C-alpha cells in the first residue's frame, strides 16, 4: 500500500498542470477578470490589425460594417469608411505604406453570399476622406499582407472562381501595384493547391522575410491545422499535426519561430464541443511537432466566452485580440483588447 501511495503521489508531482486546470466553466464575464498585462481598448468591434509603426490599431465596427482605427496613445477612434453609404466590409488590414486593404462585398445581399461569392479586395488610401477602390479580385475570407513589401497572398474557392472544382481551394501570391491611377495586382502566382475539402486553405501571415507563409488548413468536421509553406521550395508542413483538433493560425511572432492559434485544446479538461466554437488563443512553435503550446488567454474558462482573431505588433511587444461569444459565427467580436507580452 505504501508503494502504491508513493507511486500515485509521484504522478501528481510530475503533472501539476492537470491539478491546476478548472474542471468546469465559470459563470461571469471574462472582462471582469483580466490579468495585469491585458487591457480593454474598445467595447465594440472585431478583427484588429496593427499599423506598421504600431501606433494605431484598425478594426471593424461589426461584420458587414465600417472600418475604424484607434490611436493607441490618445485612444481617439476614427471611422475610415463612414463616407461610404451602406459600407459592408468584413476586414481592414494595413499595408506597409500605411494605406489599407479592405475585404468585403460591394453591397450586402445575405451573410452567406456576401461572405463567400461576393467577397473581394479593395484599396483605401491613408489620406483623410479617401474612398475605397476596387482591385478587381474575388477572394475567400482573409489575406496575408507582408510587413516588408507590397506582397499579399489570398485564397480562392469555387464560390469566387468557378473554374475551381467544388471543394478545391488555392492560395495566390501577388504584388499590389500603386503606380497607376487604379491599384492592380501583378506577378500573380499560385503557391498552394488543394483538390478537395480535406484541406480548404486560407492565407494568414508571411514570415522569414516573406520566404514562407502560414495558412489555415480547414479540415472535415470543423477541424483545422496550422500549415507552413516554403515559398521557394513549395514544401508544406503541418505545424499542429494533432488529429481531431482545431488550431487556426492568426498572427505570427516577428521572429518567425512561433505563431498564435485559435485552439480548442482546453476542451480536453473543460469539455464542450470541439472546433471553432470553444477556442482560446495559444502560442505554438513552428517546428512541425505540435508539442510546444502555450496558452495566452482564458476566456473560454467562462460560459459562452472565447478569445479570437489575434494579431501581433511588428515589434513583438503586443497582441491585439477580441472578446467573442461561442455561439456566434467566426469573426464576430464584442471589443478589442491589448495584451502585453512579458
Give the H/E segment covering residue 201.
strand 200-207
- Residue range 303-328, pLDDT digits in tens: 999 999 999 999 999 999 999 999 99
Q: Which residues of 144-160 are buried (b: 16+ CB within 10 A; e: fewer)?
A: bbbbeebbbbbbbbbbb
- Residue range 211-252, pLDDT digits in tens: 999 999 999 999 999 999 999 999 999 999 999 999 999 999
d(CA 302, CA 341): 23
User: What pTM does this model have?
Assistant: 0.91
Band (pLDDT 50/70/90 cuts) for residue 21 is low
Alpha-carbon 238 to chain mean position: 17
What is the reported pLDDT for 261? 98
Residue 39's alpha-carbon distances to 26, 28, 33, 283, in angstroms, are: 21, 18, 11, 19
Band (pLDDT 50/70/90 cuts) for residue 20 is very low
Nearest to 148 by CA among 309, 318, 314, 316: 314
d(CA 116, CA 114): 6
Residue 288's alpha-carbon distances to 33, 183, 193, 200, 267, in angstroms, are: 34, 37, 20, 19, 22
Q: Cell for 212?
A: 514562407
Residues linked to residue 339 through DSSP beta bridges, in sequence order: 38, 319
Q: Is 45 left (phi over 0), alpha (psi -120 to 50) or beta?
A: left
Band (pLDDT 50/70/90 cuts) for residue 23 is low
Nearest to 119 by CA among 138, 93, 100, 135: 138
What is the reported pLDDT for 24? 84
d(CA 288, CA 300): 26
CA atoms within 13 A on the CB side of 238: 14
Q: What is the largest CA-CA distance in the chain?
A: 83
- Residue range 67-110, pLDDT digits in tens: 999 999 999 999 999 999 999 999 999 999 999 999 999 999 99
- Residue range 179-208, pLDDT digits in tens: 999 999 999 999 999 999 999 999 999 999
Mean pLDDT to the nearest integer, 34-62: 98
Give the H/E segment covering residue 223.
strand 223-230
CA angle at residue 48 from 255 to 291, to 5 degrees? 40
Backbone angles phi, psi at 186, to 5 degrees: -125, 165
Nearest to 55 by CA among 333, 335, 338: 338
- Residue range 261-295, pLDDT digits in tens: 999 999 999 999 999 999 999 999 999 999 999 99
The answer to whether residue 145 scores a pLDDT higher than 50 is yes
Nearby residues of 127 by Cβ (< 8 Å), 6 or more positions away: none
Can you say whether the dihedral through the CA atoms of 131, 133, 134, 139 is positive or negative? Answer: negative
Which strands make up the sheet holding 305-312, listed edge to edge? 38-40, 336-340, 318-325, 305-312
Q: What is the 3-state secondary structure (H, E, C) of 134-174?
A: EEEEECEEEEEECCCCCEEEEEEECCCCCCCCCCCEEEEEE
Q: Which sequence spans correspond to the domains of the chain?
A: 37-137
Amino acid at each position: 500500500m505504501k508503494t502504491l501511495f508513493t507511486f500515485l503521489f509521484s504522478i501528481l508531482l510530475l503533472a501539476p498542470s492537470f491539478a491546476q486546470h478548472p474542471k468546469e466553466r465559470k459563470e461571469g464575464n471574462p472582462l471582469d477578470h483580466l490579468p495585469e498585462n491585458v487591457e480593454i481598448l474598445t467595447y465594440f468591434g472585431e478583427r484588429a490589425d496593427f499599423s506598421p509603426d504600431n501606433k494605431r490599431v484598425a478594426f471593424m465596427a461589426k461584420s458587414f460594417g465600417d472600418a475604424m482605427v484607434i490611436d493607441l496613445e490618445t485612444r481617439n477612434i476614427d471611422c475610415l469608411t463612414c463616407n461610404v453609404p451602406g459600407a459592408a466590409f468584413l476586414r481592414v488590414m494595413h499595408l506597409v505604406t500605411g494605406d489599407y486593404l479592405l475585404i468585403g462585398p460591394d453591397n450586402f445581399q445575405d451573410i452567406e453570399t456576401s461572405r463567400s461569392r461576393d467577397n473581394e479586395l479593395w484599396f483605401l488610401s491613408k489620406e483623410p476622406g479617401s474612398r475605397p477602390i476596387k482591385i478587381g479580385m474575388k477572394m475567400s475570407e482573409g489575406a496575408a499582407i507582408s510587413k516588408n513589401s507590397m506582397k499579399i497572398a489570398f485564397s480562392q474557392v469555387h464560390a469566387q472562381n468557378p473554374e475551381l472544382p467544388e471543394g478545391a481551394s488555392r492560395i495566390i501570391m501577388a504584388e499590389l501595384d500603386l503606380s497607376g491611377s487604379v491599384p492592380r495586382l501583378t506577378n500573380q502566382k499560385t503557391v498552394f493547391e488543394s483538390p478537395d475539402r480535406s484541406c480548404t486553405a486560407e492565407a494568414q501571415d508571411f514570415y522569414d522575410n516573406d520566404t514562407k507563409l502560414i495558412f489555415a488548413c480547414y479540415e472535415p468536421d470543423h477541424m483545422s491545422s496550422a500549415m507552413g509553406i516554403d515559398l521557394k521550395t513549395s514544401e508544406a508542413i503541418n505545424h499542429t499535426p494533432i488529429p481531431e483538433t482545431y488550431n487556426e493560425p492568426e498572427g505570427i511572432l516577428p521572429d518567425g519561430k512561433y505563431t498564435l492559434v485559435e485552439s480548442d485544446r482546453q476542451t480536453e479538461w473543460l469539455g464542450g464541443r470541439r472546433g471553432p466554437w470553444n477556442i482560446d488563443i495559444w502560442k505554438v512553435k513552428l517546428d512541425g511537432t505540435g508539442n510546444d503550446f502555450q496558452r495566452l488567454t482564458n476566456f473560454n474558462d467562462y460560459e459562452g466566452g472565447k478569445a479570437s482573431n489575434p494579431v501581433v505588433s511588428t515589434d513583438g511587444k503586443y497582441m491585439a485580440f477580441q472578446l467573442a461569444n461561442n455561439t456566434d459565427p467566426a469573426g464576430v467580436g464584442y471589443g478589442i483588447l491589448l495584451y502585453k507580452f512579458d
